[in-house]
Amino acid sequence: MEPFLNIQHVQKTFSLSGSNLEVLRDIDLDIPEGSFYSIVGASGCGKSTLLRIMAGLESATEGSVRLRGREVKEPTLEIGMIFQESRLFPWLSVRENIRFGIFKTSPEDRQQIDEHIKLVGLTGFETALPGQLSGGMQQRVSIARALVNRPDVLLLDEPFGSLDAFTRINMQQEILKIWEQEKTTIVLVTHDIDEAVFLADHIVLMSRRPGTIKKIVKSDMAHPRKRSSYEYTRLRNEIYQEFFAEFKTDIEYSI
Amino acid sequence: MNKSERPRRNEKVGQIIDYALFLVAPLFVIAVWQVLGDGGHLNLSILPTPQKIMETMVSYAKSGLLSEHFASSFSRVGAGFLLGGLTGLIFGTLLGLSPWFNRLSAVILGVLRPIPMVGLVPLFILWFGIGEKSKILVIAVGALWPVLLNTEQGIRSTDSKYLEVARLLKKDRFTILRRIIFPAAVPELVTGFRLGLSTAWRGVVAAEMIGATRGVGYIISYGREMSLPAAMFLGLLTIGVVGILIDILLARLQNKIIKWA
């Protein structure tokens, strides 16, 4: 069978004032349709760059990203993306912001927009301007804007990073609900190990400089997941140890 | 009096005091000026008293001359502002969008920009005669620069994060311009038009030095020729007062337009 979302030997080098900086090295990933992948790594490990390459916003120096066999060279409506900042247009209402997500607008949009406003739980806020909403609500609007085209893949780049702890946990549950309801394939980049363990069925651990895939941890814990469960804690500890081990060798190396 | 009423009343009094403070200094200046004039300390043939200026204004107003002068100045400023503002908007947009166009025109614009409006008067007379055309063009040049520069700045400073969203959503160039770049530039556009209009209004004096027979600027040159200092002051003060009124009005409008900021 043809792979769904396939990353092959992706390598990325930035040239900064004459010198080359290798950010990603030999990334291979095979993401099946309908799965929830989370990419975890320290800041500067290139995980956001990888996600931007997957979105078609940046090109790989070597290697390729393919969706259903077709190479992703530039953004496509089949792949939606959400950033840490909601990136809503402050001059447009909630409804208009979501409408902007629709590729070819038509009179039938209304229902589609209403559905998505309901999906992210913002019914009643249609005419509000982004500036009148809380950070969490703004991020909900940006999720609705990305989903309104019904993309096959949703890329999330630390989407809850700037939210407070309560809102973050709330939004994590929200994104699970959307994932289960819409069957969208999700790739979430985060530095929050707890978030990755709570959400993903595959957790990709990245090392840094250059970013490589260190390990892929599979999690078949059923949803809803309990943060206090044995399985949850075990998985979390396993991942912490991966990163901790790296730290230790780093220190030994420098001495 | 209950408790909740008290701070509110104080607030109101505070507001009145705030507004009154704005008027204290001007009234003081006028009073001193009048007293000095009445006491014979001023050379009244070059510096008339406020009272005399007031009388001149009343006589101008009564004869209908004042509104006539106003009307012709306003229509010139309106036409010049429209012409200069529109040109500034178009060129500013091109400059903001295209680095190529920007480089191409940088030297020409850089040389033209420091030339003051008054400096263009003789040239425009030579080219267009002393009719309305040259007057409107002088005002248009005045309005052009602030609009052009602010538009360019506004268009160029569009947040690249917004443009990335548009790329992801596969929007075409025209949609990006209409739905993102222009709305994002609105604060700068409004600032540009606001400055443009006040420069255009200031330029009316220069423009109406070109063989005008009407207009607020004409009142000033007429006052000089006829040795009527009160008329000169009337012209200058009306320009100042109308200028500040325009600015207050536009500042209010600005807050209404940019409701998201």
Q: What is the pLDDT of residue A255?
A: 40
B159: which 2 tokens? Answer: 């947040």
Give the pLDDT mean for B207-215: 80
Which of B162, B179, B183 is the closest to A87 by Cβ?
Answer: B162
Q: What is the pLDDT of residue B148?
A: 96
- Percentage of the residues of chain A whose pLDDT score is greater than 90: 31
Burial, B76: exposed, middle or buried (Cβ in 10 Å; 0-12, 13-18, 19+)?
Answer: buried
Q: What is the pLDDT of residue B7?
A: 57
Q: What is the pLDDT of residue B74?
A: 92
- Domain regions of chain A by residue span: 1-78+153-162+184-255
Tell whether the model's pLDDT for residue A253 goes beyond 50: no
For residues A19 and A69, the answer to whether their CB atoms sit within 8 Å is no
Give the pLDDT mean for B132-150: 93
The predicted-structure confidence for A155-196, as pLDDT tens digits, reads as follows: 999 998 888 888 888 888 888 988 988 889 999 999 888 888
B219: which 2 tokens? Answer: 């009142």
CA distance A89 to B179: 9
b/e A52-61 (16+ beta carbons within 10 angstroms → b): bbbbbbeebb
CA within 13 Å, CB half, B164: 16
A185-190 and A70-71 strand pairing: unpaired
Which architecture does CATH list for B65-257? Orthogonal Bundle (1.10)
The answer, for B41 touching chain A at a CB cutoff of 8 Å, is no
Q: What is the pLDDT of residue B197?
A: 92
Give the pLDDT mean for A81-104: 91
Compute CA distances B81 → B184, B194, B202, B213, whole Å: 23, 10, 11, 21
- Check CB contact under 8 Å for B169 and A129: no
Rounded to a whole number, what is the distance in angstroms from the first to the last CA of chain A? 50
Backbone angles phi, psi at A187, to 5 degrees: -120, 120
Which of A87, A129, A149 is the closest to B165 by Cβ?
Answer: A87
In chain B, what residues touch A146 (CB-CB under 8 Å)?
A: 168
Which of B165, B168, B183 is the closest to A91 by Cβ?
Answer: B183
For residues B36 and B42, the answer to whether their CB atoms sit within 8 Å is yes
For residues B178 and A244, the model is more confident at B178
**pLDDT band, very low/low/confident/very high, at B9 (cuts 50, 70, 90):** low
Residues 6+ apart with CB under 8 A from B174: none
Q: Residue B236 carries which side chain, given as an amino acid letter?
A: L
**pLDDT band, very low/low/confident/very high, at B131 (cuts 50, 70, 90):** confident
ipTM computed for the complex:
0.86
Backbone angles phi, psi at A32, to 5 degrees: -75, 155
- Check CB contact under 8 Å for B162 and A89: yes
Tell whether the model's pLDDT for residue B8 goes beyond 70: no
Alpha-carbon dihedral angle through residues A124, A126, A127, A133, given to the nearest 10 degrees? 80
How many angstroms from the chain centroid is the CA of residue B100? 32
Tell whether the model's pLDDT for residue A104 goes beyond 90: no
Q: Count the neighbouring beta carbons within 10 Å of the beta carbon of residue A251.
A: 9
Tell whether the model's pLDDT for residue B22 goes beyond 70: yes
> What CATH homologous superfamily does A1-78+153-162+184-255 map to?
P-loop containing nucleotide triphosphate hydrolases (3.40.50.300)
How many angstroms from the chain centroid is the CA of residue B253? 14
Closest CA–CA distance from residue A87 to any residue of chain B (Å)? 6
Tell whether the model's pLDDT for residue B218 goes beyond 60: yes
**pLDDT band, very low/low/confident/very high, at B19 (cuts 50, 70, 90):** confident
Tell whether the model's pLDDT for residue B132 goes beyond 50: yes
Q: What is the pLDDT of residue B100?
A: 93
Q: Say whether A79 sits in a helix, a strand or coil.
A: strand
Compute CA distances A134 → A127, A182, B94, whole Å: 15, 25, 37
Rounded to a whole number, what is the distance in angstroms from the first to the last CA of chain B? 39
**pLDDT band, very low/low/confident/very high, at A247 (cuts 50, 70, 90):** low
Backbone angles phi, psi at A63, to 5 degrees: 85, 180
Residue indicated by tokens 């050379």: B43
Q: What is the pLDDT of residue A214?
A: 85
Which of B161, B168, B259 is the closest to A75 by Cβ?
Answer: B168
Tell whether the model's pLDDT for residue A250 goes beyond 60: no
The answer, for B187 touching chain A at a CB cutoff of 8 Å, is no
Tell whether the model's pLDDT for residue B25 goes beyond 60: yes
Q: Say whether A212 sits in a helix, a strand or coil.
A: strand
Compute CA distances A220 → A172, A189, A235, B31, B219, whole Å: 18, 19, 11, 87, 88
Tell whether the model's pLDDT for residue A252 goes beyond 50: no
Give the pLDDT mean for A205-228: 84
Q: What is the pLDDT of residue A183?
A: 85
Tell whether the model's pLDDT for residue B90 goes beyond 90: yes
Tell whether the model's pLDDT for residue B3 goes beyond 70: no
DSSP A17-53: TTEEEEEEEEEEEEE-TT-EEEEE--TTSSHHHHHHH
**pLDDT band, very low/low/confident/very high, at A248 (cuts 50, 70, 90):** low
Burial, B235: exposed, middle or buried (Cβ in 10 Å; 0-12, 13-18, 19+)?
Answer: buried
DSSP one-letter code for A225: P
Query: In terms of Cα–Cα distance, which of B124, B135, B43, B207 is closest to B220?
Result: B207
DSSP A91-159: TS-HHHHHHHT-SS--TTHHHHHHHHHHHTT-TT-TT--GGGS-HHHHHHHHHHHHHTT--SEEEEEST
Tell whether the model's pLDDT for residue A16 goes beyond 50: yes
Residues 6+ apart with CB under 8 A from A255: none
CA distance A208 to A214: 9
Tell whether the model's pLDDT for residue A6 goes beyond 80: yes
Average pLDDT of every residue of chain B: 88
Query: In terms of Cα–Cα distance, which of A62, A58, A75, A56 is closest to A28?
Result: A62
Q: What is the pLDDT of residue A1?
A: 63
Query: In terms of Cα–Cα distance, which of B97, B121, B88, B127 is closest to B204?
Result: B121
- Domain regions of chain B by residue span: 65-257
**pLDDT band, very low/low/confident/very high, at B227 (cuts 50, 70, 90):** confident
Give the residue numbers in A contacting B (CB under 8 Å), as ranges.
Answer: 55, 57, 74-77, 79-81, 83, 85, 87, 89-92, 100-101, 103, 129-131, 146, 149
Give the pLDDT mean for B51-66: 90
Alpha helices in B63-215 (DSSP H): 65-97, 99-112, 117-128, 132-156, 160-168, 173-176, 182-207
Q: Which helix (H) or strand (E) holds A62?
A: strand A62-67
DSSP one-letter code for A246: H
